[in-house]
Amino acid sequence: MQKSGLITRRRAIVTGLAAAGGLLFTRLPESLPTTHGNLLRMGDAFTYAAQRVLLPSRSLVKEYTRGDITSFPATGTVDPGALDKPGLSDVYRGLQHAAFADWRLPVEGKVGTPRTFSLAELKALPARTQVTRHTCEEGWTAIGEWTGVPLRTVLDAAGILPTARFVVFHSYDDWVDSIDLLDALHPQTILAYGMNGRDLPLAHGAPLRLRVERQIGYKSMKYLRRIVVTDEFDDGGAKGNIQNGWAWYTGI
């Protein structure tokens, strides 16, 4: 008896799973975060790949109303001018003294036209206001209203190159962090200059902070200083999360 032509239940299941696996495989990120041989960082990279493969890329976080705004602790750096970072703390104090009139944000790297934005120029761009829940890795949450310019608008103004894959952020508290292009171009990823209807307070990242709503709070970097678009993954070295023992991707 020639049985090879039959579609058995087992064959149907195996073929179906293989087809589904093949489709999902195409959603794997091109480059994964560095692990430096650390098992925990490998687990983080697995979670990153799994979430990118399994979750819809454009889903939006829940937005609340103004009446839902809650008390909001300020943690981590709450005043970069009070730190002892040569070339940063003193510069920040000077900028703060002049109400950030001289503050500038360079957007460079893999872009067609490197640009530098003043706070007034950012505020002149189309703004987005969103009331969202901040989820801290420590376990607390808070709801705040953020006003800013979508990161996508700023990246488009500089014209990111087709090879661009990551956006790297440098801060005045001497931190370097990055997000992939899926999060960078997400409609709720904004460069916020306003909180709860006022200018961003000092303790919450004045004059400009990032909001990455689909990740844990520490990805929403405060006190932005510089943005660099890259085509390769950059873990920020000694100033980044990975080499300091923290996960780079924190969708969970």
Partner 1 sequence: MDQVTRASGRPVDPHARWVRVIHWLAAASVLTLACSGFAILMVHPRLYWGQVGNDLTPPLLELPISRNHQHGGWTAPQPFFAGGPDGPVTASRTYDIFNQNGWARSLHFLAAWWLVLPGVVYLLAGLGSGHFRAHLWPRAGDLGPRQVWQDVTAHLRFRIPPAVGGPDYGVLQKCAYTAVVFIVAPLMVLTGLAMSPAVTAAYPVLLQVSGGYQSARTVHFFSSLALVLFVLAHVVMVVASGFTRQIRGMTVGR
Tokens of 98: 């002049």
**C-beta of 69 vs 127, nearer to partner 1:** 69
CA 26 to chain centre: 23
Residue among 105, 110, 109, 251 nearest 191 (CA): 105
User: Any contact of residue 96 with partner 1 (CB under 8 A)?
Assistant: no
User: Any contact of residue 213 with partner 1 (CB under 8 A)?
Assistant: yes
User: Any contact of residue 182 with partner 1 (CB under 8 A)?
Assistant: no
| CA 34 – CA 248 distance, rounded (Å) | 9
| CA 217 – CA 250 distance, rounded (Å) | 9
List the one residue from 12, 24, 28, 40 that touches partner 1 (CB under 8 A): 40
The answer to whether 87 and 95 have CB atoms below 8 angstroms apart is no
Stretch that binds partner 1, among 14-22, 57-65, 93-101, 123-131 (CB under 8 A): 57-65
| CA 152 – CA 239 distance, rounded (Å) | 25
User: Any contact of residue 46 with partner 1 (CB under 8 A)?
Assistant: yes
Tokens of 73: 């602790």
User: How many CB atoms within 10 Å of residue 217?
Assistant: 19
Shortest distance (Å) from residue 252 CB to partner 1: 4
Phi, psi of 104 (to 5 degrees): -135, 145
Phi, psi of 129 (to 5 degrees): -120, 130
Stretch that binds partner 1, among 68-76, 83-91, 92-100, 104-112 (CB under 8 A): 68-76
> Distance of CA 225 to CAs 32, 45, 107, 220, 241, Å?
25, 27, 10, 14, 17
User: Any contact of residue 173 with partner 1 (CB under 8 A)?
Assistant: no
User: Any contact of residue 203 with partner 1 (CB under 8 A)?
Assistant: yes
**C-beta of 226 vs 239, nearer to partner 1:** 239
**C-beta of 117 vs 248, nearer to partner 1:** 248
Stretch that binds partner 1, among 65-73, 94-102, 104-112, 150-158 (CB under 8 A): 65-73
User: Any contact of residue 39 with partner 1 (CB under 8 A)?
Assistant: yes
| Binding-site ranges for partner 1 (CB under 8 A) | 39-44, 46-47, 50-51, 55-56, 59-62, 68-75, 78-79, 133, 135-143, 195-198, 201, 203-204, 213-216, 244-247, 251-252
